Amino acid sequence: MNTDKIFLASLGLGWWSDVLADAVQRAPGVEIVTCFSRSEEKRVNFAKKYGCEAANSYEEILANPAVHGIINTTPNNIHLETTRLAANAGKHIFLDKPIANTVAEGFEIADICAKASVKLSIGFQRRRENQFRWIKNKIESGDFGIIVQAESNISRDRLGKFEAGHWRYSSEGMPGGVMLQIGPHYVDVLEMLIGPVEEVSGMLSQLVLPGDNPDVAGLIMKHENGAISTLNASYASAGENYVMNIYGKKASALYDSTNGLNYLQQGDDVPSAIKIEKNDVLAEQMEEFGNCIRNNIEPEVGGEWASRSLAVIRAGVKSAREKRFVTIDEIIKTGE
């Protein structure tokens, strides 16, 4: 495709649509030219804020030959339907994580896009953060030795952040609750750094938020190389906190959002602070999406990886409910 600018449409128009639209404005080579939400107020306000057209329907966007791709931030349970329509219209898709609510739908989304020859990019931005790139490079160079263990936490305060009846509060809209919605970020990072997860044990609890979804969750995961990792996720905490410990035989690294990255080599008494320049991961995602469309290349995270990552979450949810270990192969086989 020979074009200097890739033109995009925003679909969904919740708060995250604005975050991604801001990122588009910081990214070279992409521009939002139209938008749609079933709420006329939302689409009018979004169009005014970002200087784009407000479409009267999703079909209008799909019929617009000037639109190259869709930024899809609709609820998880309509990702399949909205993506199918986009792919059939020849529009490339940037889809916020999780790819779907079930693994079967995730793989179907990936298959639909592949058969339509449209790019499918999934919104896993945390793997792009420079501290995780730094750790990944160190692991690949052998500086960590064998990876033996990891700990991670992703927690946020969501009390009062969404109106009553919001899809995030319902088991239909977000089955598995907090672990399904924000847990995938660190499942993705852990699998990027350590390798695929093969077995999961999970626990869920609901302590603060309304609705019928867990707002606190924890997973214990065994990776294919034998390493054990943990992931805790919460919508019920006092505020945002992101933590990851990676332990290798030769070195370990601790990252937290307050103190940054610290690195400890075998034999050292104290860790060394590693200066990491913060990068604009969301703008990088949007730039990559444009480049994939323009140059016919694959995104870093596509539908197959995202579906398998979702299987880890679904295994954890099933484990918590059935009080047993659950393998990733079982979830992929059943499509849960």
Whichever domain contains 115, its CATH number is: 3.40.50.720
Provide the domain count of the chain: 2
Q: Are residues 62 and 167 in the same domain?
A: no
pLDDT at 161: 66
Q: Are residues 158 and 257 in the same domain?
A: yes
Considering the domain boundaries, does residue 324 fall inside one? no
How far lies 262's CA from each of 135, 195, 246, 257, in Å?
10, 22, 11, 12
Range of the domain at 120: 6-125+283-301
Considering the domain boundaries, does residue 325 fall inside one? no
Q: Are residues 88 and 208 in the same domain?
A: no
Q: Are residues 29 and 83 in the same domain?
A: yes
How far lies 331's CA from each of 68, 81, 223, in Å?
34, 22, 16
Q: Are residues 17 and 82 in the same domain?
A: yes
Domain end (from 278, 312, 327)? 278
Q: Are residues 74 and 92 in the same domain?
A: yes
Q: Are residues 111 and 156 in the same domain?
A: no
Considering the domain boundaries, does residue 148 fall inside one? yes
Low-confidence ranges of the chain (pLDDT < 50): none
pLDDT at 253: 98
Listed residue (27, 180, 161, 47) closest to 102, CA to CA: 180
Domain end (from 278, 293, 320)? 278
Considering the domain boundaries, does residue 309 fall inside one? no
pLDDT at 4: 83
Considering the domain boundaries, does residue 218 fall inside one? yes
Provide the whole-model pTM: 0.93
Residues paired with 59 in a beta bridge: none
Considering the domain boundaries, does residue 306 fall inside one? no
pLDDT at 2: 59
- What's the CATH number where 264 sits? 3.30.360.10
Q: Are residues 93 and 185 in the same domain?
A: no
Tokens of 313: 């979450």
Tokens of 323: 């009080």
pLDDT at 171: 61
Q: 264-308 pLDDT, tens per residue?
A: 999 999 999 999 999 999 999 999 999 999 999 999 999 999 999
Q: 25-74 pLDDT, tens per residue?
A: 999 999 999 999 999 999 999 999 999 999 999 999 999 999 999 999 99
Cβ pair 60, 53 in contact under 8 A: no
pLDDT at 243: 92
The DSSP secondary-structure symbol of 102 reads S
Q: Are residues 223 and 88 in the same domain?
A: no
Q: Are residues 159 and 223 in the same domain?
A: yes
Q: Are residues 58 and 104 in the same domain?
A: yes
Considering the domain boundaries, does residue 59 fall inside one? yes
Cα 296 from Cα 67, distance rounded (Å)? 16
Q: Are residues 247 and 267 in the same domain?
A: yes
